[in-house]
Chain A
Amino acid sequence: MSGELAQFLLSGLTVGSIYALVALGFAIIYNASHVINFAQGEFVMIGGMATVSLLGAGLPLALAAALAVALAALIGLALARFAVQPARGASVVTLIIITIGAAILLRGLAALVWDKRIHALPAFSGDAPIAVAGATLAPQSLWVIGVTALIVCALWAFFNRTLNGKAILAVSHNRLAAQLMGISVRRVLLVSFALSAALGALAGILVAPITFTSWDVGVMLGLKGFAAAILGGMGSGPGAVLGGLVLGLLESLGAGYLSSAYKDAIAFIVMLAVLMLMPGGLLGARAAERV
C-alpha cells in the first residue's frame, strides 16, 4: 500500500468517525419521533465552542469537555420540551422549519455569547505524529477513532441491555403499541434529544483540535452527518456508523485523487444518488416512503 493511499484512508476514517457520531444523533431522534433534527450540527458547534471557552476560564480539559457535553444535552432537552413537543403531530414542513429555526437561533446565540473567531483546542495528548504504513497519524486521530468505537459499543449496550434504550427502540417500531405497554412517549422524546445532543457535542470536542471550531461549523458538519445518515439508511444505527465511515473515506479519497475543490460537494452528490437509486440506504428499511 502506498503511503499516499494510507494517508487518505487514515484521514478518511478520522473524519468518517465524526460523521458517524453526528449521523447517529440524527438516527436516534428520527427513530424516537420521526423528526429530522436540523439543529444536530449546532450541538457539534456547542461542544467545541463551550469546551474552548471553559478551557479558557482555567478548567482542566476533561472537566471542560464533560460540562460542554452536559450543556449540549440540556439544550437538547429544552429543544425537545419547548419546541418539538408543542408541535407534535404537525406536518413535515412545520417540524423541519422549527428545527432549522432552532439551528439559526443557536448559531446566533453562539456568535453573541462567544465570538465569531476561529478557535483551536489543544490536542488531547500531544502532536508528535505516529508513523503507520508509510503515512503519518496524529495522536488526535486515534482519540477520535477510539472514542467513536467506544461510544458505538456503549450505544449498542444502551439499546439492547437497558430499559430506557429498549423503550426508545419500542417506540421507533410501533408508537401506539409502546404507549399501550406503558412506555412514556414524551420521556422517550426527551431522552433521545438529550442523547443526540450529547453525541453531537462529543463529536465537536473530538474534532476541534483537528479542524478547529467556530460559531458556524455546525452547518456543514450537520449537513454531512445528515448525508451520512441517509447513505446508511435513515433510522438505522449500524447504518449511521457505516454511512459515516464510508462517506469520510469517499470524501478523503475523492479530494485526494479527483478534485479537492469539490471535496464538500461529494457528500451531497452521494446523498442525491442514494435517494434516487436506493432511498433505503445501505442498511435501511427496504420500504422507504416512495410513491
Chain B
Amino acid sequence: MRGLLALAAVVLLAPLALANNYHYEIAILVGLNAIVCVGLNLLIGYAGQVSLGHAGFFGIGAYGSAILAARYGWPPLASLAAATAAAALLAWVVGRPILRLRGHYLAMATLGLGIIISIVITTEDRYTGGPDGMSVPPLALAGFALSGERAWYWLVGALLVATVWLSLNLIDSPVGRALRALHGSEVAAEVAGIDSARHKLLAFVLSAAIAGLAGALTAHYAGFITPGKATFLHSIELVVMVVFGGMASTFGAVVGAAVLTALPQLLTVFKEYEMVVFGGVMMLTMIFMPTGLVPTLAMLARRRR
C-alpha cells in the first residue's frame, strides 16, 4: 500500500518538474509503456511464462481502435473498448493451445503469433495504411475531444495508478498466490489443486487486454500510428523493460518502463549508437543482475542495514 501511495505521489508531483509539452509527451509515453509492462509482468514475472509477442496485442489495440474510429465512424470510446476486447479474445483463443507449451516452446509460439500479426498489419494496407501508417481521430466523449498534453497526462497517470492497484491486489489474492505457485513448480501447484492451465490463461488474457488498451490509447494520443509499434523489436523492448526493472516486481516494471522509455529520448545526441547501447544494456543487466534493477537495489539496501 505504501508503494501505491508513493507512486500516486510521484504522478501528482511530477508536473512540477515537467517544463514544457515535450516533457509531458515523454511522461505520457512512460506512463503508457508502464501500463503495458505492469500487465506483462503478471505473465512473465508472476506466472513465469515468457511472451515475445505482446507488441502484437498492442498493435491490435492500436489499429483496431484506429480502424473502427477512422474508417467506420465509431465513437472513440466504443472503438477503444472493442479493440481491447479483441486483443483479449485473440489471447484467449490462441492462449488455450499455446500455453500448454513451456519455456522455450512458449516463447517461440508467442514470437510467431506476434510476427504474424505484424505482417498482417503491414500487408492489409486498405485498412491500416500499410507501412506508411494511418491517422487516428482524437479520444472524445459527448462531443468533447480530449486534447492537450496536460489532459492526457492526468488520464494516463490515473490509469497507471489504477493498473498498479489492480496488479497489487491480484498478486495478493488467491489467484496471485496460485500464479506464484505455478512459477515455482507447475507440478507441485497441480498437486495442490491449482488449475494451472486456467490460471496461466487468465494471466495471458489479462496482460494482452492491458497491452491492447495501452495500444489503443497510444494511437488516439499520438493521432497517428505506424506498424513499428507492432513489430518483433517492440515486443522485445517490452520484455526488456519488465526484466530490466525486475521480474515479479510491479514497481520494477514501472521503473523499467520509465528508464528505458526516457533514456533514448535524452540520448538523442547518440542516435547512431542507440542500438549498440540498448543491446549492451540488455546483455549486461542479464549477466550481472539477472533479477533486475529494483529487486537488486532492494537487496543491496537490506544488506546495508
Contact = CB atoms under 8 A, between A and B. Distances in A.
B28 to A, nearest CB: 26
Contact of B109 (A103, A261, A276): A276
Given A289-B103, A291-B100, A104 B109 contact: no
Interface stretch (B74-82, B114-122, B156-164, B218-226): B114-122
A38 B28 CA distance: 32
Given A97-B239, A97-B243, A276-B109, A108 B276 contact: yes
Contact of A275 (B105, B240, B275, B283): B105
B102 A291 contact: yes
B136 interface: no
B276 A105 contact: yes
Interface in A194-209: none
A149 interface: no
B276 A275 contact: no
B7 interface: no
Contact of A101 (B273, B274, B282): B282
Given A108-B276, A261-B123, A291-B100, A98 B282 contact: yes
A104 B50 contact: no
Nearest to B240: A97
Contacts of B44: 93
A155 interface: no
Interface stretch (A123-131, A179-187, A266-274): A266-274
A83 interface: yes
Nearest to B45: A93
B198 to A, nearest CB: 12
A230 interface: yes
A132 to B, nearest CB: 32
A74 interface: no
B279 A104 contact: yes
B98 interface: yes
A210 interface: no
A289 B52 CA distance: 18
Contacts of A288: 101, 105
A104 B290 CA distance: 19
A290 interface: yes
A98 B278 contact: no
A290 B103 CA distance: 9
A289 B102 contact: yes
Interface string B270-305: 001111111111110011001000000000000000
A9 interface: no
19 contacts: A36-B107, A92-B50, A92-B107, A94-B243, A96-B107, A104-B282, A105-B276, A105-B283, A108-B278, A234-B104, A234-B105, A261-B123, A268-B112, A272-B113, A276-B109, A288-B101, A289-B102, A289-B103, A291-B100
Interface of A: 36, 83, 86-87, 90-98, 100-109, 111-112, 219, 223, 226-227, 230, 234, 261-262, 264-265, 268-269, 271-272, 275-276, 279, 288-291
Closest 5 CB pairs of A and B: A108-B275, A105-B279, A101-B282, A104-B279, A108-B276
Given A87-B290, A104-B278, 17 more contacts: A96-B50, A98-B283, A98-B286, A105-B280, A105-B283, A108-B275, A108-B278, A112-B272, A219-B232, A261-B123, A262-B119, A265-B115, A265-B119, A275-B101, A289-B102, A290-B102, A291-B101
